[in-house]
Structures are given as C-alpha cells and as structure tokens.
Amino acid sequence: MFKINENYKNLKESYLFTDIAKKVNAYAAAHPEQKLIKMGIGDVTQPLVPEVVEAMKKAASEMGCKETFHGYGPEQGYAFLREKIAEYYLKEMNVKLDADEIFVSDGAKSDIGNFTDLLDNDNVIVVPDPVYPVYVDSNVMLGRKIEYIFGNEKNGFLPLPDEKTKGNVFYLCSPNNPTGATFSRDQLKVWVEFALKNNALILFDAAYEAFVQEDLPRSIYEIEGADKCAVEFCSFSKTAGFTGTRCGYTVVPKNLTCSGMSLNKMWLRRQTTKFNGVSYVTQRGAEAVFSDVGLKNIRKTIEIYHNNAMIMTDTVKKAGIWFTGGINSPYLWIKCPNGMSSWEYFDFLLNNCQVVGTPGSGFGKNGEGFFRLTAFNTTENTIEAMNRLAKIY
Ligand code: PLP
C-alpha cells in the first residue's frame, strides 16, 4: 500500500470564509430588502490598466504568427521583465538588484509555498500571529515545527525579536495582511541585524509594497545587510490587479548563502526542475506595468483603494476605535468595541449595518477581538458602509 504524507492530517481546516458565507447567505435570505456591503474581500475590484491589456493583446497576436511565436520561455522569466523589475527597485527604492536575482512566477503564493523546498525540515519556523495562513500551512505540510511571535495592540501588530526569540526561518509581511501594519526602517533593521547575528533567514512578503505612501520601507533590501539574510516575495496581484492574470516574482540575492550553497543557485535549480515559466503573454502584460503610462495608471487605481482606506480610517478615528493599517495598506485592522469577540462583532455589523468584514480570530489566536475591513470596494460602497458604521457609534 502506498503511503501518504501524514502531515496533511495536521492541517487545521479553515472554515473562516465558509462560515462567513453561511452567515451572510442566511442573513440575505431572511432580509432580502437589505443591501449588504462586503468589506471582507481580499481581491482587487478594479480592472487591468489599458497598457497591460494592449500589451497582452499584442503578445497574443504574436503567438498566432509563425515568425513571432514563443514556445517554452526561460524558467526564471524573460529578461525583458526581470530587467524592468530591477529598474523599478532602483528607481523606486534605491535598491540595486541584478536581473538574475529576480525570478518571475505565477504569483507570490506559489513561491512562498515552494520556497520551503530549499529548507531542511529541522528548521524552527517562526511566523507572526495573526498571520497570512500560507506561511503556516506550507510548513505544516512538511511536518515542520512552528513557533509564533505575537502581534498585539501593545506592539502595534509589528512584533520584533528579542534575546529570547528562537528560530531559524522568520516570515515577515509588511505592509501586513491581515493587519495593514507596516514596519519602519528602524524596526526592519532590528530584524535584519537579528537574522545576521543568528544566521537566520527572513522570508519577506512585500505583496503590498505598492500601497506604501509614507516614508517606510517597501523592500527589505532597503536595509543594509538584508541581501545576506533575506528573500523577498512580491506580486503584480495587488500592485496591478493581476489576481486573475497571475504574475509575481521572488528576489533571491546572490549574496545569500548557507553551508557553502548559494540560495540563488538552489532556487534556480528548483525552478528549472519543477517550473516551466509564466506565459509570454502574461509577462508582456507585466512588463507594460512599468511603462511610464502603465505606472501612472496603476497608481491611479491604487489611489482609488487609498481613498477608500482614508474614508475608512476617518470613520473609525471619529468613532474612537483603535486600529492599524489603512494608510499604507488596503487593510484596516480594527479593535472590536466594548470587548466584543471577533465573531460577535461580525454579527453586530451584519445585523446593524449590513456590513460584512472578516473576523480577526480567523488569522490566529492573537486576532481574537479584532476585525479586518478591506478597501477593495467601490468608493460609493465604502462611503455608504462607513456612514452606516458612523450611525451606530
Ligand atoms: N502574500 C500576501 C500577504 C497576500 O495577502 C497574498 C494574497 O492575498 C499573497 C501573498 C498572494 O499573492 P499572489 O496573488 O501573487 O499569489
């Protein structure tokens, strides 16, 4: 009889979004006259910008013509895209990367999950709580030991290591999903120095870097020494609306080594063995994000979400609700008022203002008593939802 990976038995079922859907459907059936506003969505709602669509159409036409057809592309991604990403890092963040330190993929989720291939199962994996669940589950699948570092009201959901912190591999996400909290340069410096001192690896998720408006780091490589201890995952999903188109990239610096092995070479080997690249059409679309007009237009889209987030932060500030996020992130993480639990507050908002959000307890123990609202909605809906919320405070 064949044997399965028994570690899958240790995965916790996530009922979060099913439970939300059940409650929402039951409410909608009982109150068909009420307009529900969904602010739990973690997906973008604005379409691709025209430059991306045009580039993809052109690339699709090339694929239909013998002279310009493309078969298998480079596993690491076409140089035209990797060079544009490197230019973007230099121009936007003053970070110098070689194009061959950048690996194009079908999104950050796959890379975050796949990067576990490079690491021994003996590592102690440290993830923040509350957390984007992929960091946890992709390691539980391999039977790895997971430790948590706690985000809370006191540390603004931006936990830092101290002398008692143990572990070899640390997942960080900034701007954070679900809390929207964003590390300052000094805070990231603490993490980088800790990792260098302890020979630890930081897996840095920068999926929301394009939302940073304040003078805060958008890449971990803005911090000196990070090229020796960190890998960075990024994505076109939230930057440019590619959630359905699928494209992301991972930066593995050539200076990052362990036991005499280059992680850049190991990742290249892993990708060339198990991955056959992202479609030419998609990569041409992603390249168009970096044209002058492309960048201007994706920023206009992000501005819509920022504006929504501002409407949300104004409302919760006026209501005297404690929160993180919103400014540099599409997520607003609010403290449930009057000591309500996350699910009590979910019911309260659903019943009293027909607004649907995500209970923070679904992202970990430390999310209990907190609630996530997202700016991925129309401005009209955001205004209406916040007007309803303001009335009940
Ligand atoms: N990382 C974080 C923190 C996310 O919130 C998400 C998506 O919601 C991803 C990664 C996945 O991004 P992608 O669409 O590129 O797979």
Considering only CA atoms, which residue is closest to atom 11 of ligand 1?
109
Would you say the CB of residue 227 lies under 6 angstroms from ligand 1? no
With contact defined as beta carbons under 8 Å apart, do 223 and 188 qualify? yes
- Return the best residue to mutate from 232, 233, 237 for the ligand 1 pocket (most ligand atoms within 8 A of CB): 237
Would you say the CB of residue 237 lies under 6 angstroms from ligand 1? yes
- Return the best residue to mutate from 104, 177, 247, 358 for the ligand 1 pocket (most ligand atoms within 8 A of CB): 177
Would you say the CB of residue 239 lies under 6 angstroms from ligand 1? no
Would you say the CB of residue 235 lies under 6 angstroms from ligand 1? yes
What is the 3-state secondary structure of 53-95? HHHHHHHHHHHCCCCCCCCCCCCCCCHHHHHHHHHHHHHHHCC
pLDDT at 269 over 90: yes
CA 359 to ligand 1 centroid distance, Å: 19
Please state which of the four CATH numbers 1.10.10.10, 3.40.50.2000, 3.80.30.20, 3.90.1150.10 is assigned to the domain occupying 13-42+293-391. Answer: 3.90.1150.10
Considering only CA atoms, which residue is closest to atom 8 of ligand 1?
42
Which residue, chain included where needed, has tokens 């394009």?
Answer: 210
pLDDT at 310 over 80: yes
Mean pLDDT of 166-173: 97
Per-domain residue ranges of the chain: 13-42+293-391, 51-290
**Residue 96: helix, strand or coil by DSSP?**
coil
pLDDT at 393 over 90: no
pLDDT at 392 over 90: no
Which residues neighbour 302 within 8 Å (Cβ) at sequence distance 6 or greater? 210, 211, 239
Helix axes 292-318, 50-63, angle to 10 degrees: 140
Helix axes 292-318, 280-289, angle to 10 degrees: 70
CA 264 to ligand 1 centroid distance, Å: 22
Would you say the CB of residue 128 lies under 6 angstroms from ligand 1? no
Which residue, chain included where needed, has tokens 């609202």?
Answer: 373
Burial classification of residue 99, based on how many CB atoms lie within 10 Å of its CB (0-12 exposed, 13-18 middle, 19 or more buried): middle
Count CA within 13 A, CB hemisphere, residue 351: 6
Q: What letter represents residue 114's amino acid?
A: N
Would you say the CB of residue 248 lies under 6 angstroms from ligand 1? yes
- Return the best residue to mutate from 104, 203, 238, 247 for the ligand 1 pocket (most ligand atoms within 8 A of CB): 238
Q: Distance between CA 161 and CA 126 in Å, rounded? A: 10
DSSP, res 12: P
CA 208 to ligand 1 centroid distance, Å: 8
- Residue 180 has phi, psi (to 5 degrees) of 70, -5
- For the chain, counts of helices (H) and of strands (E): 12, 15
User: Within 241-279, where are the H helices?
Assistant: 263-274
- Return the best residue to mutate from 235, 236, 247, 374 for the ligand 1 pocket (most ligand atoms within 8 A of CB): 235
Would you say the CB of residue 127 lies under 6 angstroms from ligand 1? no
Q: Give the pLDDT of residue 20.
A: 94
Q: Distance between CA 319 and CA 342 in Å, rounded? A: 18
pTM of the complete model beyond 0.85? yes
pLDDT in tens, 72-121: 999 999 999 999 999 999 999 999 999 999 999 999 999 999 999 999 99
Token representation of residue 230: 């960190």
Fold designation for 51-290: Aspartate Aminotransferase; domain 2 (3.40.640)
pLDDT in tens, 335-361: 999 999 999 999 999 999 999 999 999
Token representation of residue 216: 């805060």
Which residues neighbour 257 within 8 Å (Cβ) at sequence distance 6 or greater? 228, 263
With cut-offs at 50, 70 and 90, classify the pLDDT of residue 258. Answer: very high
pLDDT at 67 over 90: yes
Q: What value does the mean pLDDT of the chain take?
A: 97
CA 352 to ligand 1 centroid distance, Å: 31
Which residue, chain included where needed, has tokens 């580039």?
Answer: 55
pLDDT at 224 over 90: yes
